Amino acid sequence: MSTFTTRLPRYELHCHLDGSVRPGTVADLAREQGITLERPARDLVVAPAHCGSLTTFLTYIDLPLRVLQTPEALTRTARELVEDWKADGVVHGEVRFAPQLHGRHGMTSDEAVQAVAEGLAQGRATTGVATGLLLCCLRHQSPDESLAVAETALRHRNIVAGLDLAGDETLYTAQPHRAAFDLAHSAGMPCTVHAGEAAGPESMWEAIDILGARRIGHGVRCTSDTALLNRLRTDRIALEMCPTSNVQTGAVPHLTDHPAVPLLAAGLPVTISTDTRTTSDTTLQREFDALRHAHGWTSRHEALTQENAAQASFGTPSG
Which residue numbers are catalytic? 197
How far apart are alpha carbons 284 and 84 in whole angstroms?
Answer: 11
**CB atoms < 10 A from the CB of 42, how many?**
14
Question: Based on C-alpha coordinates, what's the Rg of the chain?
Answer: 18
Q: Taking Cα atoms as reference points, which of 257, 236, 245 lies closest to residue 311? A: 236
- Strands of 162-166's sheet in order across: 10-12, 90-97, 130-138, 162-166, 191-195, 215-218, 238-241, 270-272
> For residue 20, what are the contacts with CB-CB under 8 A and spacing of at least 6?
77, 81, 84, 95, 274, 276, 277, 278, 279
Q: How far, CA to CA in Å, does 143 sit from each of 194, 285, 315? A: 17, 38, 27
Which residues lie closer than 8 Å to 315 by C-beta, 6 or more apart? 132, 161
- How many degrees, rounded to 5, is the angle at CA 34 between CA 29 and CA 35? 75
Which residue, 133, 166, 146, is CA-closest to 57?
166
The dihedral formed by the CA atoms of 297, 299, 303 and 304, expressed in degrees to the nearest 10: -30
Q: How big is the CA angle at 272 (ends 269 and 276), to the nearest 5 degrees?
A: 140
224 φ/ψ angles, rounded to the nearest 5 degrees = -85, -5
Residue 152 CB partners (closer than 8 Å, separation 6+): 99, 109, 110, 113, 135, 160
Measured CA to CA, the distance from residue 11 to residue 93 in angstroms comes to 6
